Amino acid sequence: MGYFSMMFLYFDPGLGAMLVQAIVAAAAGIVLFSKNFMYKVKSFFGLTKSQKDGIDTIDFEQDEKHPNEEQGS
């Protein structure tokens, strides 16, 4: 489409910061995997409360609670 990402115009992302992401992500993968594993072990023994992992949660509750809220203004 002829669009060249203007991210390259904007600011320097830092070469070091770009390179390090693969390692950060690998470490993150291990941490997430082991947390998840521990969670499964604990929940097998009934030791856990519900697991909180909010990054995927999109919260619409305010709208549902006050459906008339916007109409007044």
Partner 1 sequence: MKSKAHRHQASFRDPSGYIVQDGSVVKRVINPIYFPVYDALCEADFFSPLFKAKMLIPHIEQERSEEAIVLLPDQIDLMTYPYEWSFEQYKQAALLTLKLQNFALDRDFSLKDASAYNVTFHRGKAVFIDTLSFDFYQKDSPWRAYKQFITHFFGPLVLAHFHGAEALKMMQTHIDGIPVALIASMLPKRTKLSPTLYTNIHLMAKMEAKHKDEYTPKSRSIKLSKQSLRNLLRSLYNYIDQLELKQQTEWGDYYNKTNYQPESFNFKKEQIQKWIAQNGARKILDVGGNDGTFARAINSDIALAVVADVDHNAVALNYAQVKANKEDNMLPLWFDVTQPSPAIGWANLERASILNRLSAWAPEAVLALAVIHHMTLSSNIPFVDSARFFAGLSPLLIIEFPKRNDSWVDSLLQRKREFINHFDHYHQENFEKAFEQYFKILERVNIPDSDRILYLMHTQE
Q: In the complex, which residues of this chain contact partner 1 (CB under 8 A)?
A: 1, 3, 5-7, 9-32, 35, 52-60, 62-63, 65
Q: How far is the CB of 2 from partner 1 (least distance, A)?
A: 8
List the one residue out of 53, 56, 57, 58 whose CA is nearest residue 31: 53
Q: Which residues contact 31 (CB under 8 A, 6 or more apart)?
A: none
Task: Provide, rounded to whole angstroms, the least separation between the CB of residue 42 and partner 1.
Answer: 16
**Cβ-count burial of 1 within 10 angstroms (0-12 exposed, 13-18 middle, 19+ buried)?**
exposed
Q: In angstroms, what is the minimal distance from the CB of 45 to partner 1? A: 22
User: Of 14 and 46, which CB lies nearer to partner 1 in the complex structure?
Assistant: 14
